[in-house]
Structures are given as C-alpha cells and as structure tokens.
Structure 1
Amino acid sequence: MTHSSSLRLVVFDVDGTLIDSQAHIMAAMTHAFDALDLPCPPREAVLSVVGLSLPVLMPRLAPDLEPDGHTALVEAYKNSFADIRVKGAGTEMSPLFPGAEETVERLLTRDDLVVGLATGKSRRGLDHLLKAHGLTGRFVTEQVADHHPSKPHPSMLLTALAETGCEAADGVMVGDTSFDIEMGRAAGFRTIGVTWGYHPRGALEAAGADQVIEEYDALEAALERVWEV
C-alpha cells in the first residue's frame, strides 16, 4: 500500500508498549531454561532484553552456553510460548495496557496518519496476538523478527517507510525500550518512550528519546510536540 508522503507514520512496538506480555514471557522463559536443566535468569534480566530477537537475546541471558545451547533455548522458548497460547492462556497473560486500545483506535481513525507495528515477535506470534485482541488487519505495516535483523537495527522502520510511502522525518517510533528508541533514531524517526514497559525512564532518556510519557492519554499530545520540532 502506498500513501502520499504528506501522511505521518506512527509505529508501535508490541511487547511492553501495546501488550503487557511479561507473564507470558516469563512463563515461557522458565520452561525453556528448565528444558535444558538450567536456572532461569531473574525477571529483571529477562525483561531487560525483551524486544531483541530471540537469537540475539539468548546469548545475553546465557553467555556461558555454546551456540548450540542458545539455539536449543530459542526452540524451547518458541515451543513453550506456543503451548501457553494453544492452552488459551495467551490473552490473559498478555493483556493490552490500560488506555492502549482507545488511543490506538483514535489514531487509526485519523486521516492524516498511518499506523504500524515493529516487533521482535515472530509473524506467527504477532498474528495470534492481533487476532486475540481483535486487531487483525488494522495496521498498515507490520514488521516482525522473521524478516529483519534484531532491533536496534533500523531495517524494520526503513521497510515500514517503503511500504507506506512516508518520509522518515514524518515518522515516530513509540516504544518502551532503549532498543526501540535506538532503532527509531537510526532510521531518522522521532521517538517517544513509554515508562509502563520494561526499561526505566533513565534508559529511554539515555537512548535519546524525544519525549517520554507515563500514560497512554499523553501520547497524542506528545506526537504533536515531536512533530513541531
């Protein structure tokens, strides 16, 4: 789909920004490490790397393992994550953050914006999550880990620009981690950090976020502020 370059593009991260998936992530990670008879890293360590693609994430969590061990952890995590989803617990363990649905809905109805996603999730994982929350087909561009280098590489956002016809100067990346902010800056986007996810305000500011907000109700005003600069 191609749009006029006068349109502005807002791209959301998913885990920690739209969806509070920490319970699902921690359960799957615990099962993955158990499968290899390894102790699961603490919650803080796991949440600190959410947003990275799994092949990049696992070596950070288990630096002493050989590459084959990292590959086994990735597969065990994927299988566990899918098992939890199949058992019907996915939506309860991955609810939308307060205010997310209403705010995104308002943005989706604006005729001066296009709205997209850029996530470290797989295509399969994102499809299931969007279906569970009634969001299938709502976003103009959806970038997933299957087709790109891990964040903070700008590939996801550069592809989103190509798919929408928007200019980087008219793009904003909204995310909860320094990886999102760094990716946005690398792609020439403005960036908005959100504090309800998995990285603290200080990390978002250190990464160079143009704005940092603490609730969804503040997002639309923050968008106007970053576009005024």
Structure 2
Amino acid sequence: MPELRLVIFDVDGTLVDSQADILAAMAAAYAAEGITLPDRAAVLSIVGLSLPVAMESLSPGLDPARRARMVETYKDAYVALREKARMHETSPLYPGARAALDRLQADPFTLLGVATGKSRRGLDKLIEGHGLEGLFVTTQVSDHHPSKPHPAMLLACLSETGVAADRAVMVGDTRFDMDMARAAGVRGIGVDWGYHAADTLTADAMIGDFSELDAAVDGLIGQATEQDA
C-alpha cells in the first residue's frame, strides 16, 4: 500500500492574492499610530511572517507596546474588511488553485495542510469565504508558533498527520516558506506568481501555474522515496 503523503500550502501569495486586504489593514495599523506606512514593496516583502515580526521588520525599534497595538489594529482591520467586502474580489484565489486542491484531495493517499503567518481568525475567515472547509487536515497559524522560517508549523503538520518529512512538501511564494521547509527537512515547491521574486526562493522545484503542481509533488516525493529505497 502506498504511504501517505502531505502537501502543505502557504496562503497569502500562494493560494490567494490577498495584497489588497494586507495593504489596507497595514495602512490602518500605521495610521492609528500616526506613523508613515512603508511603501507597497516593503509591505509585501514581509508577507508570511507573523505580525509582530513583520512590524519589527518594517519599522525596527518600535516600542513593544506600540507594536502590540499595531498588531491588534491590523487584525481588527483585516476582519472588518472581510466582513464588508467580497472575499472573491479582494482576496481571490489564484487561477487554478481550487482545481489543484480538489485534484490532490481526490487522491486517498494525499493529505493537505496549511502553514501560514495568518492568525486563526484570519485563516478561518478566508477558508469560510472561499468555501474551503474540509480540504485541510492540519492548519497551523501564527497564534501558536514562532514566525516563519522557524520550522515549528511544519513539524506540527507532520506530527498531527503522522507523515514523515520525506513524504511532505511545502508550497509557497516566499523565501520564508522555503527556509522553513529546509529547517523541517521538507522539500519546497516555489510558485512564481507571489510576493517574492522567484529567483530568491532557492526552492527544490518551481512552478509557474497550478497545472504544474501535481507533477512537481510527484517528482519530489518520488525522489525522496527512491533515495530511501
């Protein structure tokens, strides 16, 4: 019988193009403190990090109390945006994302997971908004783990599913995702449509479209199985 395998997805910049909501929520957090918002490229460069780490990266030396307020303002603004806007308009799934998730889930030996810098509240809103309930057997969020690229989220995915690291892949759009994968002993598949330049990812495989994902997953897990044999 084939061994189970696990495909773990980043969310922002990988499954959904959420930059409009991220930029708006970040603008609200900075405005509330009377601080000038860094430019768009700077904000998108920290997508994937947990919010406290992201804020510190964008504005080094912030007073901890002020940074904590900004984190909470961001979270509240993000949820408020989600309640007022249509998810499909402001945080749409990338073309082919849902079909790829459905194809992989249809394989009885493939499990799906999420490892995201989002909060539990933010991820739950996104899953509900896009009707993705029941697709993911493990979902790891920033509330309970150190920020990427620390491997804690991936290690928790492996532990919860009982899948070995060499039977798992991480799919993401940032160097934080790929560094996290390496730290956890998991192969990394980079996507070229996200928020970090493709040539900065140092992934084990790169894809330019979700139609290429199945072959990339098969190739990397096949390589690991052959090496172990």
TM-score above 0.5: yes
Matches of 1:80 and 1:42 in 2, distance apart?
19
Partner amino acid for 2:42? A
Among candidates 177, 180, 186, match of residue 174 of structure 2: 177
Among candidates 132, 136, 148, match of residue 135 of structure 1: 132
Counterpart of 2:16 in 1: which secondary structure? coil
Partner amino acid for 2:12? D
**Match for residue 228 of structure 1?**
222
Partner amino acid for 2:7? V
Could you list the runs of 4 or more consecutive aligned residues of structure 1 that deviate by over 2 angstroms after TM superposition?
Answer: 88-91
Aligned residues: 223
Tell whether the 8 Å contact from 2:101 to 2:135 is kept in structure 1 after alignment. no
Counterpart of 1:18 in 2: which secondary structure? coil
Among candidates 58, 69, 80, match of residue 66 of structure 2: 69
Counterpart of 1:11 in 2: which secondary structure? strand
1:25, CA displacement in angstroms? Answer: 0.3
Per the alignment, do residues 90 and 53 of structure 1 end up closer, same or farther by CA in structure 2, a change over 3 Å counting? same
**Match for residue 115 of structure 1?**
112
**Match for residue 141 of structure 2?**
144
Matches of 1:96 and 1:175 in 2, distance apart?
14
Q: Percent identity?
A: 54
Partner amino acid for 2:216? A
Tell whether the 8 Å contact from 1:62 to 1:70 is kept in structure 2 after alignment. no
Matches of 2:3 and 2:87 in 1, distance apart?
38
1:15 matches 2:26: no
1:216 matches 2:213: no
Among candidates 201, 205, 217, match of residue 198 of structure 2: 201
Matches of 1:171 and 1:58 in 2, distance apart?
31
- My pick for the range that moved more, 52-61 or 87-96, is 87-96
1:57, CA displacement in angstroms? Answer: 0.6
Partner amino acid for 2:157? A
Q: Where in structure 1 are there 5+ consecutive unaligned residues?
A: none
1:5, CA displacement in angstroms? Answer: 8.8
When normalised by structure 1's length, the TM-score is 0.94
Counterpart of 1:51 in 2: which secondary structure? coil
Per the alignment, do residues 29 and 89 of structure 1 end up closer, same or farther by CA in structure 2, a change over 3 Å counting? farther
**Match for residue 6 of structure 1?**
3
Matches of 1:217 and 1:76 in 2, distance apart?
38
Tell whether the 8 Å contact from 1:9 to 1:170 is kept in structure 2 after alignment. yes
Tell whether the 8 Å contact from 1:5 to 1:167 is kept in structure 2 after alignment. no
Matches of 1:196 and 1:111 in 2, distance apart?
29
Partner amino acid for 1:36? E
Tell whether the 8 Å contact from 1:5 to 1:166 is kept in structure 2 after alignment. no
Partner amino acid for 2:219? R
Partner amino acid for 2:15? L
